[in-house]
Chain A
Amino acid sequence: MTKKIATRDAYGQELVRLGAENKDVVVLDADLSKSTKTYDFFKNYPERFFNMGIAEANMMVTAAGLATVGKIPFASTFAMFATGRAFEQIRNSIAYPRLNVKIAATHAGITVGEDGGSHQSIEDIAIMRSLPGMTVFVPADAVETAAAIKAAAEIKGPVYIRLGRSGVPVLHGDDFKFTPGEAVTLREGEDVALIATGIMVSMALEAADILADEGIKAMVIDVHTIKPLDIFAIVEAARKCGAVVTAEEHSIIGGLGSAVAETLSEHQPVPLQRVGMRDTFGESGKPDELLKHFGLTAEALVEAAKKAVAKKSR
């Protein structure tokens, strides 16, 4: 297995680098700086770091105010509280006025682990992608995270970046080129397209290996930008493979699976299977145990791929 790094760690490091490069970058946190890794920024640039206490609603709108005077605020907390507790603040004070606020939310998905279902955000992609003008990044590894954070700082407008707590394999080399809104084809294939986001991308690659052993050639697409969605790449993959599987550490309602289903229904209807949380909340457990328990594994992707392929031939 390759080296594992949590995307939140990559975020903390990239923030420090950005802070040196751009004096307008400021960071806000809601008493979770050691968990979200914004603490590294605080240590380097204390005057540009604002701990807002356990008050996410106020934090989001304070970030909006900072943006109106030319700052580039990164506001961090757990995905649950960022997009759940402070949804209406993000909607009305950040997205509606299209302010230049970056919401870097960590501890997304079930790999939060032992803290349990109350802390496992499985709706945040759905919530954020429904907001007009919101860019939504879901990086798959440390390299993508650093690139997404850098890109977020350059984008003029609101950006949501979904980050995780647990270590994930590093998929990309130093030469990786990140273009917002452009999905990355990690593996070519012609029988089924595995379209994945976040930590599920590495599992899609594993699944493609297993499928190859069984004679099924799977294409693997890494959708690091949920919005704007790379409709072209998705339609082309569906056209070429004739069957699609989506994979996300998120509810299949409203997330990547929904976004792909919407796209395919309009442009290129093909059999589709969605792997993700199936209208259920998470629970306490070790991240790996939880992924198995809820069917977010390479094996589950393999099964889904076979189902999709079978439907194709009907």
Chain B
Amino acid sequence: MEQKIAELQERAKTIRRHIISMLCEAGSGHPGGSLSAADMVAALFFDTMRLDPENPEWQGRDRFVLSKGHAAPVLYAALAEKGFFPVEELQTLRKLGSRLQGHPDMKKLPGVEMSTGSLGQGLSAANGMAMGLRLDGGDQRVYVMLGDGEIQEGQVWEAAMAAAHYKLDNLTAFLDYNNLQIDGPVEEVMGVAPLADKWRAFGWQVIEIDGHDLAQILTAIEEAKATKGKPTMVIAKTVKGKGVCFMENQAGWHGNAPKPEQRDQALVELA
């Protein structure tokens, strides 16, 4: 277990380095929410999910939907590291002709399960996947990552209702609770607390963790798998910009790319 966690920590660090490099090269994009989700994404892609990069369309694979699609760099980094496409291609992010669109595009890039980015829609899509896979009697699981600001969208609660109504226990959602959105702290822009109570009231199993603690992440994933008759929401307390000191807890780094000297400084921290 300790060795596994050390390996996943190293994966997360590599993912963070890719995030910083590709955003600097792109000159625009969203580092804060990509960095906050990196540990959960590392756990899912390098421990939990059954995937076959050689055969991205394999029916038996688990699904991951990045509902907070602006955090595309964290998904792209994980997919490249997993072998879905060459790591060098990360440097084409947001450029004309690239498969790495500003927000994930399932028609362009292998491994992307759903085109997302318009907030509030990913959970609905994940529900549909979970319903369809269950209909076919498969044991695939569906994972979805939401942002905390994102859940201000009403559709998220429509989907929350539906997932519980249809008892989608093959669905695990993560809430990247970094408490910052573009305009500032989530509780100042439009309060979403108390989160655990809300999701429980909607009929979900709720697990609260530190979203940067890989042991807690893995335990939560196992607990979700063992839960029958209801979907699971993992509310993960995170730090926006995690891993780069000058980005941490700064709303300004929601949607700004690092300059070359800032990239270099960040990469030293993430070495």
Contacts and interface: CB of A to CB of B under 8 A. Distances in A.
Interface string B112-127: 0111011001001111
Nearest to A60: B124
Interface string A61-74: 11111111111010
B128 A55 contact: no
A65 B65 CA distance: 10
Given A57-B158, A61-B125, A89-B121, A97 B132 contact: no
A238 interface: no
Contact of B128 (A68, A92, A96, A97): A68
A34 B59 CA distance: 35
Contact of B126 (A63, A65, A97): A65
Interface string A265-281: 00000000000000000
Interface string A34-58: 0000000000000110101101011
Contact of A68 (B105, B114, B135, B161): B114
Contacts of B121: 57, 61, 89, 92-93
B12 interface: no
Chain B contact surface mostly: helix
B155 A61 contact: yes
A97 B127 contact: no
A68 B159 contact: no
Given A55-B161, A65-B131, A89-B121, A97 B115 contact: yes
Given A58-B155, A64-B114, A68-B113, A97 B162 contact: no
B124 A57 contact: yes
A295 B130 CA distance: 48
A98 interface: yes
A256 to B, nearest CB: 29
Nearest to B107: A97
A305 interface: no
Interface string B15-53: 000000000000000000000000000000000000000
Contacts of B257: none
Contacts of B59: 70
A26 interface: yes
Given A47-B135, A89-B155, A67 B128 contact: yes
Contacts of B2: none
Given A52-B162, A53-B162, A55-B161, A69 B132 contact: yes
Given A55-B158, A58-B159, A97-B106, A66 B114 contact: no
Contacts of A89: 121, 124, 155
A66 B59 CA distance: 13
B162 A62 contact: yes
B162 A58 contact: yes
Contacts of B166: 50
A88 interface: yes
B136 interface: yes
B136 A65 contact: no
Contacts of B155: 55, 57-58, 61, 89
B162 A69 contact: no
Interface in B141-189: 154-155, 158-159, 161-162, 165-166
Given A58-B155, A93-B121, A64 B128 contact: yes
A47 B132 CA distance: 11
A95 to B, nearest CB: 10
A97 B114 CA distance: 8
Contacts of B136: 69-70
Nearest to B104: A97
B129 A68 contact: yes
A117 B65 CA distance: 39
B133 interface: yes
B135 A62 contact: no
Contacts of A96: 105, 115
A69 to B, nearest CB: 4
Nearest to B115: A97
A128 to B, nearest CB: 18
A55 B121 CA distance: 12
A268 to B, nearest CB: 35
A92 B115 CA distance: 8
A62 B128 contact: yes
Interface of B: 59, 63, 65, 105-107, 113-115, 117-118, 121, 124-133, 135-136, 154-155, 158-159, 161-162, 165-166
The 3 closest A-B pairs by CB, nearest first: A65-B128, A61-B124, A58-B158
